Amino acid sequence: MAGLLEGRSTIVTGGASGIGRATALAFAEEGAKVAIADTDLAGAEETAEMIRAKGGEAYAVECDVTDQAAVDAFVDGVAERWGGIDAAFNNAGISPEDFTVPWGDLGPADLTMDTNYRAVLLCMAAELRHMVKAGKGSIIGTSSIAGQSGNGGAGYCASKHAVIGLTKSAAVKYAPMGIRVNCVCPGVIETGMTAPLIADPQANAFLKTLQPMPRIGQASEIADAVVFLASDKSSFITGHPLVVDGGCLAR
């Protein structure tokens, strides 16, 4: 039976690890060709190799998504190689803030906005240029439960709210052109980003109390939602922030 994304040309940013890697693998599992961008080239190559080892088609590019020229070159390269872009997961993100720091002492908030918001817009802009020509495409961003609540510090929380605003605005503007734009809002997921907290027994126990499902989520559970949004199974869904959080925000 053909996969949900059989033969499609796809992009995953931040695909060297965590949610991005899990999604790149899931895209390939559904028959997609996957181009992976990350600043961590070794990790991105490893993801691509995992796909190729199973008979899939994938390649990795070292790309800092905050660098417009690098993003344009990456996205144009994918379109040229595979004749267009069917789906893109703009997922690369950072969480460098210590959320306990008083706001008078904040440092890295600008860097967070630059990566988690501005770079998502840069990727989207580059992808839309190709999708508009084709009259189709699906773009998915990574927001967070911090995009729908006041938890998550200053820059991180603001950046993830911004992703939802960008998603809705792009969805409205590009729906008449056949392009859907959605995002996922993960809860607490076991990845490199959360590893220090998960390794701390006290923090770990606290994290498990955040959602009615008394456990931490897995990257593959976000990947499944992204596959759905990338595929035709979500053909009438656009502008939607899909929460995947074990019930955390339902409280």
Ligand X SMILES: NC(=O)c1ccc[n+]([C@@H]2O[C@H](COP(=O)([O-])OP(=O)(O)OC[C@H]3O[C@@H](n4cnc5c(N)ncnc54)[C@H](O)[C@@H]3O)[C@@H](O)[C@H]2O)c1
Q: Does 193 bind ligand X (CB under 6 A)?
A: yes
Q: Does 226 bind ligand X (CB under 6 A)?
A: no
Of 91 and 182, which CB lies nearer to ligand X in the complex structure?
91
Of 30 and 38, which CB lies nearer to ligand X in the complex structure?
38
Q: Residues 31, 96, 192, 239: which binds ligand X (CB under 6 A)? A: 192
Could you tell me which of 71, 84, 36, 30 has the C-alpha nearest to residue 229? Answer: 30
Q: Residues 10, 194, 231, 234: which binds ligand X (CB under 6 A)? A: 194
Residue 156 designated active-site: yes
* Least Å from the CB of residue 177 to ligand X: 26
From the list 59, 117, 156, 174, the catalytic residue is 156
CA 248/CA 131 separation, integer angstroms: 34
C-alpha separations of 27 from 88, 101, 194, 227, 228 in Å: 10, 38, 23, 6, 10
Among residue numbers 39 through 68, which ones bind ligand X (CB under 6 A)? Answer: 39-40, 43, 63-66
Query: Cβ contacts of residue 97 below 8 Å, gap of 6+?
Result: 106, 108, 109, 112, 153, 154, 155, 156
User: Which DSSP string do the residues of 18-59 spell out, in sequence order?
Assistant: HHHHHHHHHHHHTT-EEEEEES-HHHHHHHHHHHHHTT--EE
Percentage helix, strand, coil, to 5, in the chain?
Answer: 50, 15, 35
Of 95 and 234, which CB lies nearer to ligand X in the complex structure?
95
Interface with ligand X by CB under 6 A: which range of 2-10, 16-24, 49-57, 228-236? 16-24
Interface with ligand X by CB under 6 A: which range of 73-81, 86-94, 126-134, 236-244? 86-94
Q: Does 211 bind ligand X (CB under 6 A)?
A: no
* Least Å from the CB of residue 142 to ligand X: 4
Side-chain-side CA neighbours of residue 234 (13 Å): 25
Where do contacts with ligand X occur on this chain (CB under 6 A)?
13-14, 16-20, 38-40, 43, 63-66, 91-95, 115-116, 142, 144, 186, 188-189, 191-194
